[in-house]
Amino acid sequence: MTPLSGLRVADFTVHAAGPFCTHMLSQLGAEVIKVETALRPDIFRKSHAVYGRKGPATFDQVSSNKLSVRLNLKHPDGIALAKRLVAVSDVAAESFRAGVMERLGLSYDDLRAARPDIVMVSVSSSGQTGPESHFAGYAPLFGAWGGLGHLSGHADGPPVEMRHVMDHSVGMNAALATMAALLQRRRTGRGCHVDVAAREVASSLVGDALVAASAGITVERMGNGDLRRAPHGLYPTRDPDRWLAIAVANDAQWCALAMLMDQADLASDPRYATETARHANSATLDPLIANWSRQSTGEQLAASLQSAGIPAHLSWAASDIVSDPHLRARGAILDVTETGGATRAAVGRVARFSGDDTPGITQGTPTLGGAESYVYGELLGLSDTDISALVADRAIY
């Protein structure tokens, strides 16, 4: 049995962060009912020209497994139906700007009236409270607000904008918080309103730097550098744009690397013999590594470095990831067959469970409103006539 079998989520989330939260829950077996409307389709279901193309963005990935229903939240009967859906759900998730659910008549108090122990999960850019809670934001802005963007980048360059990994790490945090809230509900019988702030996720990812800064220590961008480890960087290989990440964490690993480079004298060279010396002399050390690494392929180097006990990995593109036997063996990458018959690689579960090895994704992208007969008919008990009337009145639209 899947870990979250029996849990039901009413999913009002849009864009990337919120849907990724419910996607994580669905991969572990929760039944997720995605509420959509043709009036204003999820921006990630629509084309996304800012990336210079016409197709959708991550919608296929994060909506796989989910059941889609149309529901017009601008219609009073749509709101009534939303509450009925919440009444049969364990979790209600949303990711509108703070205040929107309240204006719709779907505040935590409203949902609690429909189901007293509901766990409501709100994912927003800056949280549900505070002077900037109304700010609009996307992943790069979360990173900017939270300090993660400022601290990422070359020491002599500008900050770096965070992209979808930022959204998705917000979603992962939200999924974690949802499980904690559910465990609390199981223990106490009490639901709660989980408030996830994306900018706080960004700052939490550099929480140690913020601890240091609060003690007066200067923290700044440092490229690929590390405060202790050396050599530590991206090194060229024989093939163009094929970079090898090497992170030597101690003297033993350094000695092993010197042997592998067939330059055993480097291990005892006073400029590099200790971690402190290597760190101080990385400007002369890095070219030595690069001259060696560019003689071979990255695959050969990574394998031989790992065999010698040295942390190393190629800088992998998506093409490497989708074909990796290791990730496929783990189910972290799997193939999904879409409704139209096309097969694509997708991301699977983030962990393996001894009690359940069900693939994380068993169904592809849902069609808009594809699960209405199940949700409105079977779950909520509406007759075909009722449903037709709501469709005609554009409450289901």
Partner 1 sequence: MTAPKPLAGIRVVERATGVAAAQAGRLMCLMGAEVIMAEPPGGSPLRQEPPLLPGSDSALFTFLATGKRSVTCDLDQPDDRAAFDTLLASADLLIDDTALADRARAGLDQARISQRHPHIVHLSVLPFGAYGPKADWLGEELTLVHAGGEGFLLPNGLSADLFPDRPPLKIAGHFAQMQGGVAAAFTGLSALWAGGGQYVDASVQDANVAVGAFAIQRFGDGSVEHRLTRSFRFGGVIECSDGYVELLTLEERQWQGLVKLLEADDWAADPDLADAVGRSARGDEINRRIRDWASHRKVADLVAAAQELGVPMARYNDAAQVLSGAQETARGIFHEVAASGGTVKVQSLPFRFDPDALPVDCPAPAPGADQSLLEEPAQRRASA
State which of positions 328-387 bind partner 1 (CB under 8 A): 329-330, 332-333, 344-347, 349-356
Number of residues that bind partner 1 (CB under 8 A): 151
The least CB distance from residue 174 to partner 1, in Å, is 7
Question: What are 93's strand-pairing partners?
Answer: 11, 121
Check if the beta carbon of residue 35 is closer than 8 Å to that of residue 71.
Answer: yes
Q: Which stretch binds partner 1 (CB under 8 A): 73-81, 175-183, 257-265, 387-395?
A: 175-183
Site for partner 1 in 56-95 (CB under 8 A): 57-58, 60-62
Contact (CB, 8 A) for 323 and 309: no
d(CA 70, CA 373) in angstroms, rounded, equals 11
Please identify, using beta-carbon distances, which residue of 54 and 385 lies nearer to partner 1.
Answer: 54
| 105 closest CA partner among 127, 77, 133, 146 | 77
**Which of 99, 224, 295, 359 is close enough to bind partner 1 by CB under 8 A?**
224
Q: How far is the CB of 154 from partner 1 (least distance, A)?
A: 6
Choose which of 114, 144, 361, 395 interacts with partner 1 (CB under 8 A).
144
Q: Which of 168, 372, 376, 397 binds partner 1 (CB under 8 A)?
A: 168
Of 180, 176, 61, 174, which is closest to residue 124 (Cα–Cα)?
Answer: 174
127 binds partner 1, rule: CB under 8 A: yes
Answer for which of 76, 309, 359, 381 binds partner 1 (CB under 8 A) is 309
Question: What is the closest distance, in whole angstroms, from the C-beta atom of residue 289 to partner 1 in the complex?
Answer: 12
DSSP string, 307-322: HTT--EEE---HHHHH
- The rounded distance, in Å, linking the Cα atoms of 173 and 46 is 26
d(CA 127, CA 122): 8
Contact predicate 93/178, CB 8 Å: yes
- Interface residue with partner 1 among 77, 102, 226, 393 (CB under 8 A) is 226
Q: Is position 130 an interface residue for partner 1 (rule: CB under 8 A)?
A: yes
DSSP reduced 3-state for 347: strand
Cβ-based nearer residue to partner 1, 16 or 111: 16
